[in-house]
Structure 1
Amino acid sequence: MHFIHRVAGLLMAALCLCACQSGRLDIGQAIINPQEFSIQALDTISIRVSTVLSPDSFVTSAQSSADTAFLVGRWADSNTGTLTTRGYGNVDYASNPLASTSNLTLDSLVFELGYAYAYGDTTTAFSVEVHQLQTALNRSKVYYNTSSVPYDSKALFARTVTPGPGTPVTTSAGTPLSRAYRQIRFRMNTTVAQSFFTALTDGSIVDNVTMDEFWKGFVVLTPASGNTMAGFSTNNLTGLRLYYHAVDNNTDVVVRSSSIHFPLQTTHFTQFISDRSGTPLAALQTRSDAVSSNLTGRSSSLVPGMGLRTRIEFPYINQFELPTGYAGVNSAQLVLEPIRQTLRDNLVPPDLAIFEANAQNELLSVVPIGAIGNVAQNNAAGYFYDPAQPELTDSYTFDITQYATNLIRGRLPNRPIIITNTSTDLRTLARRVTIGDQQRSSDRIRLRLFLTSAQ
């Protein structure tokens, strides 16, 4: 921090040496011919960057889409620690003819997991385990990222796969799904499968209540040590699938083979487990704590699933003076350059938004966007990369012209700004955006002031 202060002091001294006016930034505009204006860029405004904690929990039992019902995986790095996710779900009852039909014979019972996407180390082995819950999920309860349910320590199934591009599949009606899926299938023990089949045929299982009494539910997790996340869906590719056939009493010939799908669709949630021990961010214990970017490799990470956000401050912006010959601030852009190696690094970064905050890092209000500071306007910025460049060139850009101008003029209190994500979808909660601070030679944060000058 002392280094940052010294750099900021040197920058301010340099500006003061070449400045000849202060106060109103539009002085001289009335007497300068607009045709003589030119625009010059300046990005030396000092910026402090740190990582802060948002300890609020969030609902994950309401997450359900064609893409994701629960998230399973692990992600770790030396700055943020380890994020582990587990998916919990109850098996839903599905209407079937088993109790009213005779001469039926069980073929097999298969536990199916269909996943819509995986990211991270998708070319290396990814282990998946399925454990049975000791207590069924409450179908009327709301579950959060911090929720957990006891489960058997011994796995029912374990499988190691290599995640990769999925293959297109169709729904039961034959309609192509918009996303390519892959499926992991586990065959149930014959004794357990027969017990379940018998409970269906003798009428012991007739609804969700009796289904929960039999199965209680499952948790899907990974013991893998690599950085991989997989989003599992609740469509017709995930659940229990029972295969059976009917035979002719007279000839013992199979006359019909069928299957019944019991989905994990109604009740499910994802548990997020964060472990920051042994990292610089272990110092984050309360909402008001902050860890400077100079302790985390000149960067700050946004990881919604770990409650991590980025805080930025402009400590000396209200001391800024226009250099000689400049008539005013034409535009102000806050540019964030994420630290990424390839476009497949942790998938496409999510949209980000900026908010004013207090000393406790609580969000107060949106930062006004644009030249007139339209508060009602969306304060989010999308991820952009330039495909024409030989090296990865990417950024987020916020137009904070009116807001920065008011800070310079002292018309607004100089509060911290919090950068966070805009979505609570499971696809984005585990993603991370790592932003370089101002001292990096590349992939850094800048406040770019475009000054109107008179030639």
Structure 2
Amino acid sequence: MNSAVRRLFFFFFSFAALTACEDPKDIGLELQDENLIGTEFTDTLTIETGTVFQGDSIPSFRSQPPLLGQYIDPVLGKVRASTITEVTLNGTSLNFGTGARADSLVLTLDYSFKYADTLKAMQVNVHRVTGTFDERTSYFTTTPFAYNSDPVGSKTFLPRIDTETVNGATTKTTRLLKIKLSNELANEFMAQSGLAGLADQAGFKNFFKGLALTVPEDENASIVGLTLSSTNSNLALHYTTADGTARQHNFLLGTDNYFTQLTSDRTGTAVEALQSSGNYAPASETGGDSYVQAGTQLLSRIDFPYLDKLKDLPGNLIINRAELIIPVKAASSSNNLSRPPQLVLYETNSANQFLRDIAGTVRAVQQDGVNPLAASFPALVTSSRKNGIDYYTMNVTSYLQGVMMGMKSNNGLMLGAVTSASNSDRTVTIRPELRPYRAIVTNNEANPVRLLIYYSKLQ
């Protein structure tokens, strides 16, 4: 008897028994309600997992937060982020007065997010941009942008965000990053006083196209999420007037164009071979693990190869409720490499592409009770913990009902990190998460991915 036949025989034997290996109440799910009384239960379906590189471009124009830094994940390799930003004049017809002299030009950056080893100092380099933003161009994490290779300023700093709670109100205080730029650039700014370069925003962009914020190629520290629109973030020209008065003018950040560049290098990792869009590594080849990493388009694929066999059972089978249980390795939270706070299950095909509706919206598993063919009510995966084991859980009733009724094909799902926004009409908008959260999904004999199904049969 070959392995495929043995698996199929095991499937029918397990299902005929209709006795799950665990009582659902022991799994940490809130599935017991009056609507499930008298239904039957199984969690013995075979589930296959693996890692996909989904190479669709990720839009990052004005995405929040713009990212900066680099670290080396011991499991998934190097992740690098840079930010390209324009600067806003903050005024018109700027004139600092005859005889004024530049003292310094200082870039101050606020941030609200840090990821990876924030106990290591990181070096930030500031470059002068030579490229120009084009309103006809879409900007993605992979979009190149020209800037001078020699930095006009550099600073090593230790990211720090202090949290204080007083009378139930929590406030965060950031150790601001201040970088003194070159005296030559400060003098260039001062030389434009009263001229076209400081007359209006168009003239200013022609004179000074913006900043590229980068880190050295060999950096291994952390990534921070910048808050360019913070009142603390600016480019300040400090100068002294002819009569000796010290003054400054703040050029603004975050009000014009900016975007994040994000790259990864998986050399030497278990998923090194995932280089082209659609490449797949089964968990059986990566120690039973599969991976989700935001920003780099690594997703965990989940397949139910024998799900259609449910239709072969005697009588008409009705899915009352279905829950997907996805164990997550504890290592996902080590080294300050925390898991994505929000995920969805995308619908896919054999080529590991995102499925889309007629309007081009990416299809994801919908909330319970929603038409399986809808695309505007994606369900968010939630985190839970039981007996020291972390899980992702998701109600997939709508999806399974769609498959059983022939409304959907059983082509598999892909677990990916997202950010979400609820709209006034109760629809939910999702977009790929850029912050490089990652999770390690396990699917082995000790901790398998499971599909809990409550069903009824009409004879």
Same fold (TM over 0.5): yes
What is the aligned counterpart of 2:365 among 357, 362, 367? Answer: 367
Q: How does 1:42-441 map to 2 (within 5 A)?
A: 42-63=42-63, 68=65, 70-77=66-73, 80-95=76-91, 98-99=94-95, 101-102=97-98, 104-138=100-134, 141-166=137-162, 180-202=173-195, 204-223=197-216, 225-235=219-229, 236-246=231-241, 248=243, 254=244, 256-265=245-254, 266-320=256-310, 330-341=320-331, 342=333, 345-347=336-338, 349-364=340-355, 365-370=363-368, 375-376=373-374, 378-386=377-385, 391=388, 393-404=389-400, 407=403, 413-423=409-419, 428-439=433-444, 441=446
Cα deviation 1:230-286 (Å, max 9, x = unaligned): 1112223333201234465xxxxx5x5432111233121111223234444343344
- Give the equivalent residue in structure 2 for 1:172: none
Q: Could you tell me how far apart the structure 2 residues matched to 1:88 and 1:332 are? A: 45
Q: Could you tell me how far apart the structure 2 residues matched to 1:340 and 1:213 are? A: 51
CA spacing shift, 1:207–1:142, aligned 2, 3 Å:
farther
> Aligned-pair distance for 1:119?
1.5
Structure whose alpha-carbon radius of gyration is higher: 1
Are the counterparts in 2 of residues 79 and 296 from structure 1 also a CA contact under 8 Å? no
Q: Secondary structure at the match of 2:400?
A: helix
Q: Could you tell me how far apart the structure 2 residues matched to 1:81 and 1:100 are? A: 49
> Aligned-pair distance for 1:112?
1.9
Are the counterparts in 2 of residues 62 and 269 from structure 1 also a CA contact under 8 Å? yes
- Give the equivalent residue in structure 1 for 2:424: none
- Give the equivalent residue in structure 2 for 1:446: 450
Q: Could you tell me how far apart the structure 2 residues matched to 1:111 and 1:348 are? A: 32
Are the counterparts in 1 of residues 36 and 454 from structure 2 also a CA contact under 8 Å? no
Amino acid at match of 2:155: R
CA spacing shift, 1:47–1:416, aligned 2, 3 Å:
same
TM-score (norm 1): 0.76
CA spacing shift, 1:227–1:394, aligned 2, 3 Å:
farther
Are the counterparts in 1 of residues 120 and 221 from structure 2 also a CA contact under 8 Å? no
CA spacing shift, 1:109–1:167, aligned 2, 3 Å:
farther
Q: Could you tell me how far apart the structure 1 residues matched to 2:367 and 2:205 are? A: 51
- Give the equivalent residue in structure 2 for 1:30: none
Q: Could you tell me how far apart the structure 2 residues matched to 1:337 and 1:135 are? A: 46
Are the counterparts in 2 of residues 369 and 375 from structure 1 also a CA contact under 8 Å? no
> Aligned-pair distance for 1:201?
4.3
Q: Secondary structure at the match of 1:380?
A: coil
Q: Could you tell me how far apart the structure 1 residues matched to 2:57 and 2:36 are? A: 55
Farther off after superposition, 336-345 or 218-227: 336-345
Q: Could you tell me how far apart the structure 2 residues matched to 1:427 and 1:110 are? A: 34
Q: Could you tell me how far apart the structure 2 residues matched to 1:243 and 1:104 are? A: 10
> Aligned-pair distance for 1:178?
7.1
Q: Could you tell me how far apart the structure 2 residues matched to 1:89 and 1:177 are? A: 30
Q: Secondary structure at the match of 1:422?
A: strand
Q: Could you tell me how far apart the structure 2 residues matched to 1:39 and 1:282 are? A: 45
> Aligned-pair distance for 1:9?
4.6
* Structure 1 unmatched runs, 5+: 21-33, 169-175, 249-253
> Aligned-pair distance for 1:155?
2.4
> Aligned-pair distance for 1:330?
4.2
Q: Secondary structure at the match of 1:143?
A: coil
* Structure 2 unmatched runs, 5+: 20-33, 356-362, 421-429
TM-score (norm 2): 0.76
Q: Secondary structure at the match of 2:392?
A: strand
Are the counterparts in 2 of residues 72 and 231 from structure 1 also a CA contact under 8 Å? yes
- With a CA cutoff of 8 Å and minimum separation of 6, indicate the structure with the bigger relative contact order: 1
Are the counterparts in 2 of residues 312 and 417 from structure 1 also a CA contact under 8 Å? yes
CA spacing shift, 1:247–1:370, aligned 2, 3 Å:
same
Give the fraction of aligned pairs with identical amino acids, expressed as a percent.
22
Q: Could you tell me how far apart the structure 1 residues matched to 2:432 and 2:233 are? A: 18
Cα deviation 1:174-199 (Å, max 9, x = unaligned): xx997543321122333432232122
Q: Could you tell me how far apart the structure 2 residues matched to 1:166 and 1:319 are? A: 55
- Give the equivalent residue in structure 2 for 1:28: none
CA spacing shift, 1:381–1:427, aligned 2, 3 Å:
closer
Give the CA RMSD over aligned residues. 4.0
CA spacing shift, 1:116–1:7, aligned 2, 3 Å:
farther
